[in-house]
Structure 1
């Protein structure tokens, strides 16, 4: 693992993604449904964004790209939908089942561990790096 990325950069990328993707999805939801609250449109849009964009864009999301960080597999192979399903869906399930405690533990893991891997990284066999993709 080369140049693992810590808590603040990962949090910043998540916040950027929330703003960049969340606002347009909220506007679309408002236009179609008539309210600003969480809707199936925003939930599905966020889920698809989290699953598809990193696979299609060599581990980047828009927020990660702005900050120059990306998700990579430990073994160096290309991210696939199975990996992202494990990272997003299975890890999300773990976080819900643990009533958010797993998410808090993950934040501490990213902040304190030398390899900067969270629970979702262990589940999916990934980590977040500042290295650009190899040409």
Structure 2
């Protein structure tokens, strides 16, 4: 067991040998491991992926049709569109649409992950469903800025997924982004 106040390993007794905090009031902290966090992540992927996919589909269809409608028409070519201009216009519309989708996905991701981790629920819907939450090393709710840093630190964890896998081998089941943000994922009591 670890002291929630100072993080020191408390071998035995009623008080932490390092800071004197009463251990009985703190209780046992059960850290969420790799597999339960993976389940929560899959649930979140579905929850956030469905609206992004719908938005991407609608934007894609809208941009292609609006580009085709605005293509120039020349009667000297027997009623045919300028093929090259039409294709170039569709290609440009697809690129712009993809950029909009990337920016929208980033904004939605930041608001969802950082916002939910910093909220009173201390976790995304996936984490809430499986009964886990994100805290700082003292068991307290994290700020939006720390949650934002944690969100962007997941980029580091995503490199070959090593940053996620290390959660299976660390003492407090921390992923790389947890180490960077000084957070832990624990089961709700």
Q: TM-score range by the shorter chain?
A: 0.7 to 0.9
30 and 43 in structure 1: CA distance in 2 versus 1, 3 angstrom threshold: farther
State whether residues 114 and 151 of structure 2, in contact with CA within 8 Å, keep that contact through their aligned partners in structure 1: yes
- Alignment counterpart, residue 109 of structure 2, candidates 39, 46, 69: 46
State whether residues 26 and 42 of structure 1, in contact with CA within 8 Å, keep that contact through their aligned partners in structure 2: no
State whether residues 5 and 129 of structure 1, in contact with CA within 8 Å, keep that contact through their aligned partners in structure 2: yes
Distance between the aligned counterparts of 2:34 and 2:155, measured in 1?
21
Distance between the aligned counterparts of 2:179 and 2:58, measured in 1?
39
TM-score normalised by the chain length of structure 2: 0.59
Residue 59 (structure 1) shift: 1.2
Match for residue 120 of structure 1?
177
Match for residue 19 of structure 1?
46
Residue 93 (structure 1) shift: 4.9
- Alignment counterpart, residue 166 of structure 2, candidates 74, 97, 109: 109
Distance between the aligned counterparts of 2:156 and 2:39, measured in 1?
23
Distance between the aligned counterparts of 1:26 and 1:43, measured in 2?
13
Question: What do the CA deviations read for 1:64-87 (whole angstroms, capped 9, x no partner)?
Answer: 011011111112332111211221
Residue 24 (structure 1) shift: 1.3
Segments of 5+ residues of structure 1 without an aligned counterpart are none
Q: How much is the aligned-residue C-alpha RMSD, in angstroms? A: 2.3
- SS for the counterpart of 2:134 is strand
115 and 92 in structure 1: CA distance in 2 versus 1, 3 angstrom threshold: closer
State whether residues 120 and 141 of structure 2, in contact with CA within 8 Å, keep that contact through their aligned partners in structure 1: no
Residue 107 (structure 1) shift: 2.6
4 and 21 in structure 1: CA distance in 2 versus 1, 3 angstrom threshold: same
Q: Could you say which structure has the greater relative contact order, defined with CA pairs below 8 angstroms and 6 or more residues apart? A: 1
58 and 7 in structure 1: CA distance in 2 versus 1, 3 angstrom threshold: same
Residue 43 (structure 1) shift: 2.8
57 and 28 in structure 1: CA distance in 2 versus 1, 3 angstrom threshold: farther
